[in-house]
Structure 1
Amino acid sequence: MSWLLESDPAVAWQVHSDPALRARVAREGWGARLLALQGPDGSWDGGACFPASYRGDEPGQPWTATMHTLQTLQIFGLDPSSAVSARMIARVAAGCRWEHDGQRYFDGEVEECINGRTIETGAYFGVDVAPLVARVLTTQKADGGWNCEPSDRSSFDTTLTVLDGLLAFEQATGGSPASRDARRRGEDYLLVRGLFRRLSTGEVVKPEYLDFAFPYYWHYDVLRALDYFRRAGPPDPRMAAAVEVVRSKRQPDGRWPLDRIHPGRVHFPIEDGAGRPSRWNTLRALRVLDWWEGTR
């Protein structure tokens, strides 16, 4: 705990939900640095999903555009009721447009991996995203999940991204019977697969789902999934194997490492590198285990 408390305010305030420390996120450290990088048009790095300068020839995906930056500020816990947040969101709403067809930022786009994250940050920061939620509900697959790609089958990555959005919407507004039902069906899509296995064979869907990355952006992994379920409600027995994956990664000193960094352009690093102890993974893993073990 002392190691976490010695970190940036974005981490430290979350250890004990300290309001005074939380207020510092907008004024100091990583949060203040990201806020200072917002452009005159309301965007970060000149784009909604991709930087204006991006030509597709960089390693990985660039993470400096508006969508990824807003998600990071939300994870940092920037106070949505603050004047700083209100000014930031007003500028995004007024000037930022999606590359797809010039849609207004909070009207969303056509890919559900984008729309889920737009719903999440919009709901968190007090934007009316009900029309976008209604649209996303119409694209739920028969198996209960969602997919950005043209397929009858859902993907873990897109499903969790939409679930994050629907949960944020419900927490902000209470949701609707339709949104709550869709979220439960989406959760079941992941739960019947144990959060990381194929329904057909029981094999691990992708090895990287067992690697804990931060920031995670749109990428799925077991720790991100469990942290979603921690915020959503009580544990489900079908998560037990996933919880053991988290438990197995704890180091002798009580900390969790950063397993993976998703490659691409960033504003600045917020972890010490892959293989090094990770404050973000440690914070999230401790929360998950406290939640899981608190019901046993």
Structure 2
Amino acid sequence: MNSIMRAIGPAMDEPEDLMQLVLGMSAVKLFDGLFSGAVGVERERLGEWLDLNSGTLGGESAIRAVHDLVGHAQSFDLSDLEDVPPLDLPDLLPFFENCLVFNRRRPKADGLALSFKTPEDWLTTHAIKKSYENVVFDRKSSPSEGELMGVGHPLMEKALHQSERMLGSLCVLDGLDSPLLVVEISSRVTDTSVPGSRVVAAVVAVGDTFELRRDWEVMQLLGACSLRSEPVAFGSPAPRITGWVEAASEHIQAQLADMKLPFGSPQAKALAVFWPS
């Protein structure tokens, strides 16, 4: 409830109306169940238990309920809800480490911590130091263990912005079992009043067939891979790659109608191809 109020309250004339609206969506039996079920829970585990058992509103996903109310759920604290992608700060570590390698830096890894010299192109503000010791990708870490890294940190923003500007659309990876085509699915009808009308997904080869992967599954797949340390000359395999991309694109186009997307008239656009070394 507090998460919902923090996200929407400032934009409402009478925020308390939202409280009544959301409470009204929840059946009385939900609260009866919370009170009766909590009796046998140990005091130390009560907070965790409550979070786990109050992630629905009237049997409906809390995220879906909020999405239906306000059109999107991008500003909410979504931790511990069952339909949130099972990702956390450690899943950002491989991406950030590969960004350093791409910028000709050799980071030193120690568990969920990295030490490195900052790439020259990232040194654009006094908020960014020339080198870092024990930047930690673990929200449970203490300040004494190192500086916490995540989205919003100046260095992570540099890595993201640099990646967004890359023109290349083909990457050869060590550790990838089969080719991967990443696509952006959006609506052909432009409607600025509908936030979130864009989905990133992927097509992966499984034997002689194709399967779809969600955005967070792609992140996990790529997190287990590493960039090639030297450029690759494709030569003759290039036509094979082109043919595979065309077949994968046809597969995703054929699946669009059955994907239960939050918008109509979907279209898919290829973003990148990841190819096994």
What TM-score do the two structures reach when normalised by structure 2? Answer: 0.27
What TM-score do the two structures reach when normalised by structure 1? Answer: 0.26
Which of 1 and 2 has higher RCO (CA within 8 Å, sep 6+)? 2
Between Structure 1 and Structure 2, which shows a larger proportion of strand residues? 2
